[in-house]
Amino acid sequence: MTAEPGNAAPPVLTRLLVPAGLLASVAGAFAYVGAVDPNEPGHYPACPLLRLTGIYCPGCGGLRSAHAFVHGDFAAALGANALAVAGYVLFAAVWTVWVVRTVRGRPLRITLGTAQLWGVGALVTVFTVARNLPFGSWLHP
């Protein structure tokens, strides 16, 4: 059985353009944060929630975490925002699976059900609440 000429799958390099573009964008963002230190005042805006209320949001410390991650200081990255580091690792794993499936000509399908979405929301909520309580001070950025 032969494929119709108009229905042939695009070449592998063409299929890899979107994953490569996403990786280039993320690498560019990490390169910028790695070069422009968020620990130096004046480079980035302050978190509005932290500034107005004194409450750490789930993203507080994310830029410092990315900066430390880029420089290979994984302990400091975890200390600045452990949830962000988990996100970096998850992104790398999903991106790798996406590329492998794309090379094999298979689509990446991520279907999250209601239970998984509630679980992610609960994880982010618990992280946020814990880092704002006295016993969770080790989660402060």
Task: Tell me the pLDDT tens digit for each residue of 61-100.
Answer: 999 999 999 999 999 999 999 999 999 999 999 999 999 9
pTM of the model: 0.82
Least confident of 4-8, 39-43, 62-66: 4-8
Chain Cα centroid distance, residue 118: 19
**Continuous segment of H or E residues that includes residue 108:** none
Residues 6+ away with beta carbon under 8 Å from 96: none
